[in-house]
Amino acid sequence: MTVLSRTPLPTAAGPAAGPAPLGPAARLLPALAAVYRAQLARARVARIPLMFVATFQSVGILVMMRGVVDGGDNPSSRAVVAGSSVLVVAFVALNLLAQYFGRLRATGGLDHYATLPVPPASVVLGAAGAYASFTVPGALVTAGFGAWLFDLPLAHLWVLLLVVPPAGAALSGLGAALGLLAPKQEIATMLGQLGMSAALLLGVLPASHLPQPVRVLRDLLPSSYGVDAFARSFAAAPAWSAVLLDLAVCTVVGLLSLTLATYAYRRATTR
């Protein structure tokens, strides 16, 4: 009599097993560096026109405002120069990044990033960092020209290098979130333009000249704290504690803005 065995026979491929486990996902910092380099190389072709347009726009605003704002060491001239310098960051980090992520979502480009074993934060941070990197030369040129035009001291121009990273992070996160949350590419473009207009009107005009309700709106603008920090540095004796406080607030707002952008990215890639 033949006895049937319940033990599965071995096969050429070995014993039966489940699907092979996937490799570990890339860590945040290496993935961030890879995405940043890829985005930087992609945008390098357009960096000269991009820098020229952003800088030319801010320099034009400085020239226009010089006709209505007195030069010299006064709060209005400081606010105009600081706001115009940070406006270069807003044009690239907010406006163009909103359009970029809106286009990625509309054309299915986000599917490529969704298949990569990288943390969502690295995609958002990498793209934001690459776009914001192009703003540093234009912001410095604008600040130097504005200080000369409005007769402000150049001794503390280096403060702008501390302002650009947190302001760029705040505006980049906001721009990415607008592009990722907008239901259509055209709406993302419109929101980017509106954000740019808000940065222009609320960031360049002196806060002391704005009505109280508009000042409240200005406080909600992420880059306004960076503008205030840079404007304080033009004073003959800057209040460094106030400068550091504004930078700290801008940094916190930037982290919150990038967190919102990361959430928007997860939401857009899982729908």
Whether residue 8 is predicted with pLDDT greater than 70 in this model: the reply is no
- Tokens read off for 148: 């000369």
How many CB atoms sit inside 10 A of residue 208's CB?
A: 9
If phi > 0 it is left, if psi is from -120 to 50 it is alpha, else beta; for residue 72 that is: left
- Looking at the domain assignment, is residue 216 inside a domain? yes
Are 146 and 80 in contact by the 8 Å Cβ rule? The answer is: yes
Residues contacting 204, CB < 8 A, separation 6+ = 61, 65, 79, 80, 83, 84, 87
- Looking at the domain assignment, is residue 15 inside a domain? no
DSSP 271: -
Whether residue 101 is predicted with pLDDT greater than 60 in this model: the reply is yes
pLDDT score for 37 = 82
- Looking at the domain assignment, is residue 161 inside a domain? yes
As a whole-number percent, the residues of the chain with pLDDT over 70 amount to 87
- Looking at the domain assignment, is residue 194 inside a domain? yes
The span from the CA of 182 to the CA of 192, in Å, is 10
State pLDDT tens for residues 169-216.
888 889 989 998 998 889 998 998 898 888 888 888 888 888 888 888
pLDDT score for 91 = 86
Domain that holds residue 83: 28-270
Average pLDDT of span 120-135: 79
Where is pLDDT greater, at 61 or 116?
Answer: 61
pLDDT score for 62 = 93
pLDDT score for 24 = 56
Whether residue 23 is predicted with pLDDT greater than 80 in this model: the reply is no
Are 85 and 230 in contact by the 8 Å Cβ rule? The answer is: yes
Whether residue 2 is predicted with pLDDT greater than 50 in this model: the reply is no
State the average pLDDT for the chain.
Answer: 82
The span from the CA of 175 to the CA of 195, in Å, is 8
What phi and psi, each to the nearest 5 degrees, are found at residue 10? -70, 150
Residues contacting 172, CB < 8 A, separation 6+ = 93, 94, 97, 127, 128, 129, 131, 132, 257, 258, 261
Amino acid at 119: P
pLDDT score for 48 = 66
- Looking at the domain assignment, is residue 2 inside a domain? no
Whether residue 7 is predicted with pLDDT greater than 80 in this model: the reply is no
What phi and psi, each to the nearest 5 degrees, are found at residue 12? -65, -30
State pLDDT tens for residues 142-171.
999 999 999 999 889 999 999 998 898 888
- Looking at the domain assignment, is residue 66 inside a domain? yes
- Looking at the domain assignment, is residue 47 inside a domain? yes
The span from the CA of 208 to the CA of 216, in Å, is 12
Q: How many domains does the chain have?
A: 1
- Looking at the domain assignment, is residue 16 inside a domain? no
Average pLDDT of span 118-137: 79
Are 175 and 94 in contact by the 8 Å Cβ rule? The answer is: yes
How many CB atoms sit inside 10 A of residue 105's CB?
A: 24
Token pair 């290496």: residue: 30
